[in-house]
Structure 1
Amino acid sequence: MSDVKILESVQQFIARHHGHFIHGECVATETSERIELVNPATEHVIASIATADQQDVEKAVQSAHNAFSNAWANTSPYERGLKLNKLADLVEQHAEELAQLETLTTGKLINLSRHLEVAQSIIFLRYFAGWATKINGQTMQPSIPSMHGEKYSAYTVRQPVGVVAGIVPWNFSLMIGIWKIGSALTTGCTIVLKPSEFTTLSLLRLAELAIEAGIPAGVINVVTGKGETGQYLIDSALVKKVSFTGSVPTGIAIGQQAMKNDLTRVSLELGGKNAAAILADVNIDEILPNLLQATFVHQGQVCAAPERFFIHQSKYDEFVQKASAVVQQLKIGSPLDEMTMFGPLSNRPHFEKVKHYLDLAQRNNQVITGGNALQTTGYFVEPTLLKVQGIDDPLFLEETFGPVVDVIAFETDEELITMMNHSRFGLTASVWTNDLAKAMRLIPQIEAGSIWVNMHTFLDPAVPFGGVKASGVGREFSDA
């Protein structure tokens, strides 16, 4: 097979001189500094984006504030839902265009961009649209003392907070951007998005589609740049909520800064060193395809993906042998080739980070299979299984956010829980077993925000998602 043909509309969009998207249109930056966007599979520069300074950010925030005050907060819930559904229609119509933009900038497999990123974006938009008319307060009878037999009633009203700052990572920029857009807009808020400097094109294109959908100018704004741009956004006095998805150190810094800024509300969905427990009763041949698919989707660059495998001693040798054989058969290649099974990492800094961990494992003789960066153009590494020297091994404690999985054996359920919880992270976990009663006993003991049984990494808009411990504050989706 060869690479899919790049659409003419994609070529034309990439070729533009990209600015920020403020008040319904692309605007030039106030600075001359630009950032090059690199295709991670070829290392070719495909476009450049603007760097927003404080003045650019304030223009975007002021636009969002004006749109909130003059238009969106006063739009009926029914109309908000209609416009979000119209945006979902347009995402569906432009699905291939958006998928190709994602693959070209993130290295995501084209089939993954189509059938997960874009397809799930549509589902999430429609889910949020449905909530627009279902956001209700409560009425209640309070228990304050009665002097003369009178009775009292109280009620609550849920109101939009105003301008939301949405800071989006590079791994699923379109989908995570839509999570933030959908939740903000359905509640009557407006938003200023700051995408990662590595992956901005799909959200710039989405902002254009929002205008076509009839969403008023200023309701969705996009400013591009590096960390300083995000800092300007967080510090704006008009920003009333910060929604961040990304690394733990950055999330902690954002949370601390938001608290200093008059206790600005925050939602922080951060990293994880997620655990998968393979119990003694499982059939390895049955679970392996689903487990490894969840592990190596998007080259492991998924915050919810498992990085630590805990395998019952009786199954350890069989699992390692069979998992190694499957991993070695993954076809590595161009993400635009529909037959490719494993693509590049998304950017050079992340490639260097993952390579550091692989080099460490090589020096310590911990590689079971894989363990190498490919000597070729592009940010390619091999999918890798590692044996660890114990639960305090740095490779077992530090998040790689890549296709690197650590395996370790356990004997008792008590040992398993102790080992699984020996982490500063607590985003997701999974238990693989045919013994549902045992799974239900283990789940309350596992320190993680989401726990699956016989599956991993799957998200649904009706189910709250977020972490405990250093993995975050707050929840995405549902009515949480």
Structure 2
Amino acid sequence: MTDISLLPEVEAFLARRHGQYIDGQLAAAPDAAAIDVINPSSRKVIASVHQATPAQIEQAIASAHEAFTGVWQRTSPARRGELMNRLADLMHARREELAQIESLSSGKLIGLSRAFEIDYSIAFLRYYAGWATKIHGRTMSLSLPSANGEQYTGFTLRQPVGVVAGIVPWNFSIMIAVWKFGSALACGCTAVIKPSEFTPLTMLRVAELAVEAGIPPGVLNVVNGNGATVGPAMIAHPKVAKITFTGSVPTGTGVGVAAMQAGLKHVTLELGGKNPAGFLRDFPVERTVDGIIEAAYLHQGEVCASAERFYVHRSRIDDVLESLHRRLATLKIGSALDENAQFGPLANAAHFAKVMAFFDKARAQDGEIVYGGTAAPGDGFFVQPTAILARSQADAIMTEETFGPVASFLAYDDEEEMLHYMNDTRLGLTASVWTNDLSKALRLVPRVEAGTVWVNMHNYIDPAMPFGGVKSSGIGREFGEAFIEHFTELKSVIIRY
């Protein structure tokens, strides 16, 4: 196992006293409790971050509100887009630095941090920047009756909602933050971002780059700390107009309830999924295995959109699982900073324990461990990529989200049964259908209950395509033009003349 050498600027950054980024400045809180940031590849402490005090949370929100009603409101849409593109330029220039900090914090393989976490974040930020000049209302003819010859005309305005509180998970600490503050800034809002306590570092560096890019102080703030304290304080604050949250269903439900109780605040909730992938009988075995690897094991399965439930025709399932066993056995497990590794550690100790518990559940319910199902050698939070043949659709491994590298399988006999299995869940974030028959695919897609349905692919997102869940997987949409509706208020104006 050979790790890449850390850049000197990364080592210098890790050695700092970390805390918050408020009103364009770093702000530590020496008297507050500090959170240790653990390298998932080694379980060693790489830095510590002071939690935000109540006063700092208040200061961050006040700074965002002042910027919203002041400098950012006076900044033209074209200028907002220009500044966001400057930030994208700086992120590109600091690509390796950001990627190394991300891999050290989250266990994401360095190649994935570079090409996916950083490059995708830049692409999304540029996409949002392009929308800054394209937010518009409509004019309309009115039908009010005229009593004395007066006439009426009407139009609508899209206006920014105000201060946006973004609560970000640990799996994509830069990219998901960009989805939230990029949407906010493009629409004329300001943002206070709360990263996960497991991955608090990278957004501090991005916030510094934002000020370097010329984005005014207060427009983008970062507060760190435990989700049980910082998150509720942000949601309840009267100057926060919107909450955008990505995370688990139970936590997201709590966020939504709290937002309603705090004054019917706007919410966007992108929550969990027990995402299915259905392989039709005509799809070749080796291409099926390629699809399973793509859908299940990216970033050790720690992707909201990843598939966890796989349905394969009974005539093919033995061959598919045999081939998958061979393929998984060849994956090189290693440190996130090892450029030759193909499979890295889980992100933190709590998640490692959760995934290990799922292995025990599967065995208790007589699931057949096709491959894996154990911890992997190494000092970090390593587990084997795992495939399990379930006993039935009711097994815990088929119903409970693992958010890890655990693919569960069930055979089906006909396409209606496959579709029933795919939809047999309270969740509906993503799904995929795999077939060489385009006609069948187009007939199945409308019947799959998910916010995103892929055909012959999985886990691919694009900033132009709206993203979000149905059923218990969320409220609202990110990306595409759809995000504008969730970060602006629609105002109607009627004029009599």
Q: TM over 0.5: same fold?
A: yes
1:243 pairs with 2:240: no
1:104 corresponds to which residue? 104
Distance in 1 between the 2:373 and 2:257 partners?
37
What does residue range 234-273 of structure 1 map to in structure 2 within 5 Å? 234-273=235-274
CA RMSD of aligned residues (A): 1.2
CA contact (8 A) 1:242 1:265 kept: yes
Show the counterpart of 1:464. Answer: 466
**Residue 413 of structure 2 is aligned to residue 414 of structure 1:** no
Q: 1-side partners of 2:174 and 2:18: how far apart?
A: 17
> Who is 2:335 aligned against?
334
Given residue 398 of structure 2, which amino acid in structure 1 is its aligned partner?
F
Counterpart of 1:370 in structure 2 is 372
CA shift, 1:400, in A, is 0.2
Counterpart in the other structure of 1:20: 20
* Structure 2 partner of 1:84: 84
Asked if 1:6 is matched to 2:6, the reply is yes
Instruction: Quote the offset at 1:55 in angstroms.
Output: 1.5
SS of the equivalent of 1:346 reads: coil
Deviation (angstroms), 1:316 = 1.2
1:132 aligned to 2:137? no
Going from structure 1 to structure 2, the CA distance change for 1:410 and 1:150 (only over 3 Å counts) comes to: farther
**Deviations along 1:402-428, whole A, 9 cap, x unmatched?**
000110011122111111111111000
2-side partners of 1:412 and 1:290: how far apart? 20
Q: Which amino acid aligns with 2:253?
A: I
Q: Please give the TM-score of this superposition, normalised by the length of structure 1.
A: 0.98
**Structure 1 ranges of 4+ moved more than 6 A:** none
Give deviations 1:67-98, integer Å, cap 9, x for gaps: 11111022100000000000000000000000
Counterpart-to-counterpart distance in 1, 2:352 and 2:144: 62
One-letter amino acid matched to 2:397: L
How do 1:208-223 residues align onto structure 2 when only pairs under 5 Å count? Answer: 208-223=208-223
Tell me if the contact between 1:30 and 1:55 (Cα under 8 Å) persists in the aligned partners. no
Which 10-residue stretch deviates more, 176-185 or 371-380?
A: 371-380
Among all aligned residue pairs of Structure 1 and Structure 2, give the percentage whose two residues are the same amino acid.
52
Distance between the aligned counterparts of 1:442 and 1:146, measured in 2? Answer: 52
- In structure 1, how many angstroms separate the alpha carbons of the residues matched to 2:448 and 2:144? 41
User: Aligned-pair distance for 1:375?
Assistant: 4.7
Deviation at 1:103, TM superposition (A): 0.2
Tell me the equivalent position of 1:479.
481
Instruction: Describe the shift of the 1:165–1:131 C-alpha distance in structure 2 as closer, same or farther (beyond 3 A).
Output: same
In the alignment, is the contact (CA less than 8 A) between 1:43 and 1:378 conserved in 2? yes
2:197 corresponds to: 197
Match of 1:158, SS?
strand
Q: What letter is aligned with 1:25?
A: Q
Question: 2:67 maps to what in 1?
Answer: 67
Distance, in Å, in 2 between the alignment partners of 1:218 and 1:149 is 50
Q: Equivalences for 1:105-184 in 2 at 5 Å?
A: 105-147=105-147, 151-184=151-184
Tell me the amino acid that sits aligned with residue 84 of structure 2: L
Q: Does the CA contact (< 8 Å) of 1:345 and 1:351 recur in 2? A: yes
Contact 1:287 1:454 in 2 (8 A): no
Deviation of the 1:145 alpha carbon: 3.6
- Report if the CA contact (8 A) 1:65-1:238 is conserved: yes
CA distance in 1, matches of 2:223, 2:17: 14
Letter in 1 for 2:353: E
Measured against aligned partners, the alpha-carbon deviations of 1:184-227 in whole angstroms (never above 9, x if no partner) come to 00110000000000001110000000000000000000000011
The AA in structure 1 aligned to 2:435 is T
CA distance in 2, matches of 1:312, 1:361: 22
**Structure 1 residue 284, shift from structure 2 partner:** 2.0
- Match for residue 37 of structure 1? 37
**Is the Cα–Cα contact under 8 Å of residues 31 and 51 in structure 1 kept in the other structure?**
no
Deviates further, 203-212 or 368-377: 368-377
Deviation at 1:149, TM superposition (A): 6.9
2 CA distance for matches of 1:335 and 1:326?
A: 20
User: Within 1, Cα distance between the matches of 2:92 and 2:67?
Assistant: 26
Give runs of aligned pairs for residues 48-59 of structure 1, distance below 5 A. 48-59=48-59
**What per-residue deviation string (whole Å, max 9, x for no partner) do you get for residues 135-156 of structure 1?**
0101111333445676532110
- 2:492 corresponds in structure 1 to none
Matching residue's letter, 1:128? Y
CA distance in 2, matches of 1:394, 1:146: 66
Aligned partners of 1:362 and 1:371 also within 8 Å: no
Aligned-pair distance for 1:290? Answer: 4.0
SS in 2 for 1:267: strand
**5+ residue gaps in structure 2?**
483-497
Ranges in structure 1 where 5+ consecutive residues have no aligned partner: none
1:275 matched to 2:276? The reply is: yes
Which moves more between the two structures, 291-300 or 249-258?
291-300
Match of 2:395 in 1: 393
Cα contact 1:276–1:431 (8 A) shared by 2: yes
The structure carrying a bigger strand percent of its residues is 2
What is the distance in 2 between the residues matched to 1:112 and 1:361?
30
Is 2:32–2:53's contact at 8 Å kept on the other side of the alignment? no
2:383 maps to 1:381: yes
- The answer on whether the counterparts of 1:19 and 1:49 sit within 8 Å (CA) in structure 2 is yes
2:489 match:
none
Counterpart CA distance in 1 for 2:288 and 2:115 is 22
Shift of 1:132: 0.5
Inter-partner Cα distance in structure 1 for 2:143 and 2:317: 59
* Structure 1 residue matching 2:315: 3-state secondary structure: helix
